[in-house]
Every structure is written in structure tokens, then in C-alpha cells.
Amino acid sequence: MACALSPNPGLLRSRDWQAALGFVGELADATDADGFARCGVERLARLAPSELTTLSLCDLRGGRRHVFGLPAGAIGGDARATFDRHFHQHPLVRYHARDRGLYAHRISDSVPFGSFRGTDLYNEYYRAIRIDHAVALPVHVSDGWLVSFVLNRSGRDFSDREVALLDQLRGPVGRLFRRARLLQRTRRAWALEDAAAPAVPLLPRVSAISEREHEVLRWVAAGKTDRDIASILAISHRTVHKHLQSVYCKLGVETRTAAVMRAIATR
């Protein structure tokens, strides 16, 4: 079993905590699995500079990896096939999948860099994509899959502070990943039910409010809760709340009912 120590949150400064909170807030607005992947790989490199950031989905039974990464196309087909040849020997796969390691983890936490440079994995894969160091933030490990955000760079390893910062994201990012999958499934379910669902009330367009705000208000008029609307529109509950607060301000009202009535009164 893995015996790695938990990254030390005492290394973090107030600006690190603020950056982490900002990242989680942005990720919370992801409306599906694709949005989650895109936001994560775009934003994580702000927390720990990375030349190549991926959301890595490892099929533990099949011994294959699927990646969504930035910059796009940085890992070509030949490189992906090479990675898969060494899949079960990869230190991060072994730590998080085989040994059930819990924490954000660098390759160098498992294998000293000098030793790693002598491996076939490094010489055939990492050297080809011009990367020396990697750290993985685990998001989901179960049902034969390991899902991680992986940050890669050359020249210098990730610091203890950077690893500690990434590790503080582990819990909330895992929960947001599960929510993104649920939102995607809910969105499909709503699409299947649309034909049988009652018509959404038609409200007059109020020029002051945006198209999205108008869409939210129509669902309010249909009697849906904020959480219902979040599922229907595949947006976060927080985003629905923001849209409604904007509507209240623009219409000069304070409640959901008053907002609907004010919109109807514009006929």
C-alpha cells in the first residue's frame, strides 16, 4: 500500500486559499462533463504553472488512457499508444489506482527523478513530448476507472506548496465531477421528457433582461424551483440565483412571484 504523507496545508498562504476558492467557484459553473474538463484544464495551470494540463481518464481494466488536454494536440496518437504500453508501470497510475493513494501526487514522490530518467516510460514517452515532471490530482477512482487532472512541465518539479494547494482541491473537485456527470444525465432525461411535459408559459420579452434571464423567469412562471431550473438548463444552482437577482433588480421587485407578475403586466 502507498505510504505517502498527506501534503502539508501549512505551506499555503492566504493568496493560495483565495486562488483555490476562485478555482472551485469557476468549476462549479460547469454544466456537464465536457465543461468540467475544459474549465479544469484551462484554470488549473493558474494555480500551478503547467506546460501541459490534462484531464486523464484511465481505463484500469483495458490498460488505456483517454485525455482531454491543453494545448490541444500536444499528445499525438503515437505518444498516446506509447503511454498505453507502459500504462500499468506508470508511477501515478500505480499510486492512485493500485495502491489507492489518496493525495495529490508527483511522479518524484514515488520515484526519484534520477531513477525515473532511466525508465522506458520516461525515454519513450516523456522525452518525446518534452516533459520531465508531472503531478496528478485524483478526481474519481472506482468502477475500473481512474480520473485525474494531471499537470506536466519540464525543467523543474512541482513544489511542496503547489502539491499542497492542489490537494486542498481534491474533495470539492471530486464532488463537482460527480455533480457534472449527474447534470449531464439529468439534461438527457429532461430532453426525453420534453414531449410529454406541459408547455412552459410564454412571457412577454422585457427588453431590460437578457435572453438567459428571460428563460429562467419562464421556468419560474412554470412553478419550478431554483434547483429544478438548474437541472433543466444544465447550469449551477448558484447561476440560477444570480440570474434571478439580476431580474429582480432590473424589474424593481423583490420576489419570484412579483417578477413574474411584472413581466406579465408588460403585455
Instruction: Parse the chain into domains and list their residue ranges.
Output: 9-183, 198-264
For residues 173 and 28, what is the distance between their CA atoms, to the nearest angstrom?
9
Q: Which of 55, 25, 58 is nearest to 40 (CA)?
A: 55
AA identity, residue 82: T
pLDDT of residue 158: 97
Is 50 exceeded by the pLDDT of residue 188? yes
Is 70 exceeded by the pLDDT of residue 73? yes
For residues 74 and 82, what is the distance between their CA atoms, to the nearest angstrom?
14
Matching CATH topology for 9-183 and 198-264? no
pLDDT of residue 63: 93
Residues 147, 88, 151: CA angle, nearest 5 degrees: 45
Contact between residue 116 and residue 11 where contact means Cβ atoms under 8 Å apart: no
pLDDT of residue 2: 44
Where does the pLDDT of residue 51 fall: very low under 50, low under 70, confident under 90, or very high at 90 and above? very high
Where does the pLDDT of residue 91 fall: very low under 50, low under 70, confident under 90, or very high at 90 and above? very high
Q: What is the pTM of this model?
A: 0.69
pLDDT of residue 160: 96
Does CATH number 3.30.450.80 belong to domain 9-183?
yes
For residues 246 and 33, what is the distance between their CA atoms, to the nearest angstrom?
27
**Can you spell out the DSSP letters for 2-18?**
--PPPP-GGG--HHHHH
Q: Report the pLDDT averaged over residues 44-67.
A: 93
Does CATH number 1.10.10.10 belong to domain 198-264?
yes
Q: Which of 31, 136, 131 is nearest to 71 (CA)?
A: 131
Q: Is 142 exposed, middle or buried (0-12, 13-18, 19+ CB in 10 A)?
A: exposed
